[in-house]
Amino acid sequence: MGAPTPTDQPGISEYRRREQDVTLEPVRRQLAERDGGGGSGEELLTLNFGPHHPATHGVLRLLVTLQGEVVRDLKPIIGYVHTGIEKTAEDKAYWKVIPVVERMDYLSYYFNAMAYVGAVERLVEVEVPRRAQYLRVIHLELNRIASHLIWLGTSALDLGAVSIFLYCLRERELILDLFEMSSGQRMHTRYFQVGGVMEDIPGGFERKLREFLKIMPERADEYGAILNSNEIVLQRLRGTCPLDADTLLALGVSGPLLRAAGNPWDLRKADPYCCYEDFSFKIPVGTVGDNYDRFAVRLAEIYESVKIVAQALDGLPEGPHMTEDRKVALPPRHELATSMEALIHHFKLVTEGFRVPPGEVYNAIESPRGELGCFVRSDGSSKPARVHMRDPSFVNLQALSHMTRGSYIADMIATTAMLDPILGGIDR
C-alpha cells in the first residue's frame, strides 16, 4: 500500500481533493455530440453499487453500466473481505487449519470443513468410521437447510417481503440449537476433525432433531404458500434473467444455478462421498433457468435435505465416532491415565500435529452453492504447504454479468439475490 500523499491544500482530505478533480466534462462532450447531430440521444451511465448497499449480500461492489434503466454491462469488484485464509492456513498444523478454513464460506461452515478434512483424509489414507460419516451427513444437510433459510430470508428481504426473513431466522434458531447441542458452538463449530467427528451426539439430540424434522417441511410449505401466490414475487422472478445450461457450464457454474437451468449435476449423486449413496433423495431440477427456477430449486432442496437427515438418523450405525488410528486422532481421555503410548500420541498430536505424506490432492463436495473443492498440497511436514478452496460463489459470480445483460435494475437485484453469493467464500 502506498503512503498517504500529502495534499497541498491544508484542511482538505484526500477524498475531497480527488472528488474535486471529477468534472462534468465527459458528459458535456457527450451531450455536445448528441446535439451536434448523429448521436443516438442516449448516454450510458456507469453506476457504482456498493460495497455498502442494502441490497448486496455482503460487501459486493458492482459497476453497472446503464442505458436508462436497462443494464448493459456489469462488472463485479470483490476483495473487500479478503482475509488471507489460504495464507494463514500454511502456518498452522493440519488440525488447526480447520477453524481457519471454516470461516471462508461463512454460511456453510460444515461444508468448508468437510472439503478440507476429506482432502486431508485422502492424503493420510485414514478410514473414517461409518457412524462418523452418518453424523457428518446429518450435520451437512442441516447446514444446507440453514444456508438455504438465510438465502430465502435475505432474498425475500431484497424483494421486499420482510416477514419471511423473521420466519426463516426462527427455523434457523432451531438448527443452531441442534449444532450447539452437538458441538457447543452455534457457528464455526470445528465439529469435523480429520478421521471423524469431534464428539458423539449427546442424549436428547435425536429427540430434538426428530421434532425439528417434523416441523421443517410444514414451515417450508408455509414459505412456499406465501411466496408462490404473491403476485409481486412472481412478477419479479418469473422470466427474469434466464441463462441456458451450456453458457453456465462454460462459465464453470455448478450447484442450484446449474440445476435450475436443467442440468441435474449434483456431486452427491454423481460422485458420492461420505456414504451419500446409502440415502435415497431426489434432485430438484428447473426447466427455464430464470430466477423463479433458481428459487424453486433451492426451496425444494430443503425438503430433500430433511429426507436425508431422517434417513441418516434412522440408519445411524453404532460404532466409534472417530478413527482408531492414534497417529491422526486424539486418544480418548481416559486412556491417558493408563497407557503410555496414548500419552505420547496425545502430546505429539497437540504440540506438533500429525505428519502427512507428501502429495497433492483435490477434493470436491456439493455445497449449497455448488462444487466446493479443496486443494491441499503437503510436503511431508505437519503443516500444509498450500491450501486452496475452490469456492463455488467465486466462480458463479462470473455468470452475473451474463445473466443481467439487458434486464432492469430491479431484475439485477433479484438476480444477485438468487445467485446466493457469499462474499466470505468469494474473497477468502
Partner 1 sequence: MPDATGLELIAQELREAEGEGAVIETTFFRARGSVEIDPARVRSVLARLRERGYSFLASVHGVDYYPHEPRLGVHYELLDMARVDRITVKLRVRSERPEVDSVTEEGPDGPGWPTADHQEREVYDMFGVVFRGHRDLRRILMPEDYEGHPQRRDFPVGGEPVAFTFNERETLGPM
Partner 2 sequence: MEVRRERLRGQPAHVDADALRVRSLNAHQLLRGADLEGANRPAHLHGTELDESELERYVHERVLTTTLESTVAWARSNSFFPLAFGLACCAMEQFHTAGSRMDIARFGFEAFRASPRQADLIILAGRVSIKMAPIIRRLYDQMLEPKWAISMGACCSSMGVFNNYALVPADKFLPIDVHVPGCPPRPESLMHGILKLRKMVQDDPDLGWRDRYQARGTEEVIGEGDTPDVVDARGAAAAAVNAGVDARPAQDTPGA
d(CA 305, CA 295): 16
- What are the grid coordinates assigned to 244, written together? 441456458
d(CA 213, CA 209): 6
- Report in angstroms how near the CB of residue 288 gets to partner 2 at its nearest: 31
Q: Which is nearer to partner 1, 265 or 408 (CB)?
A: 265
26 binds partner 2 (CB under 8 A): no
Among 361, 381, 405, 408, binds partner 1 (CB under 8 A): 361
380 binds partner 1 (CB under 8 A): no
- Report in angstroms how near the CB of residue 120 gets to partner 1 at its nearest: 11
d(CA 98, CA 102): 6
277 binds partner 1 (CB under 8 A): no
Stated length of the chain: 428
d(CA 86, CA 339): 37
Size of the site for partner 2 (CB under 8 A): 53
CB contact set of 75 (below 8 Å; sequence gap of 6+): 62, 63, 401
Q: Which is nearer to partner 1, 82 or 238 (CB)?
A: 82
405 binds partner 1 (CB under 8 A): no
CB neighbours (10 Å) of residue 290?
23
Among 26, 79, 184, 217, binds partner 2 (CB under 8 A): 79
Q: What angle do CA 254, 81, 106 make, to 5 degrees?
A: 55
**What ranges make up the beta strands (E) of 85-232?**
192-193, 196-197
Site for partner 2 in 132-191 (CB under 8 A): 150, 153, 165-166, 169-170, 172-173, 176, 186-188
Q: What angle do CA 285, 286, 289 make, to 5 degrees?
A: 135
Run of H or E residues at 120: helix 109-124
- What are the grid coordinates assigned to 208, written together? 430434538
Partner that binds at residue 29, options partner 1, partner 2, none, CB closer than 5 to 8 Å by kind: none
Binding site residues, partner 1, CB under 8 A: 1-2, 78-79, 82, 84, 86-88, 90-91, 122-123, 125, 249-254, 265, 270-271, 359-362, 364, 371, 373, 375, 377, 385-386, 388, 390, 394-395, 397-398, 427-428
Binding site residues, partner 2, CB under 8 A: 1-5, 10-16, 18, 46, 48, 51-54, 58-59, 63, 75, 77, 79-85, 87-88, 99-100, 103, 106-107, 150, 153, 165-166, 169-170, 172-173, 176, 186-188, 423-424, 427
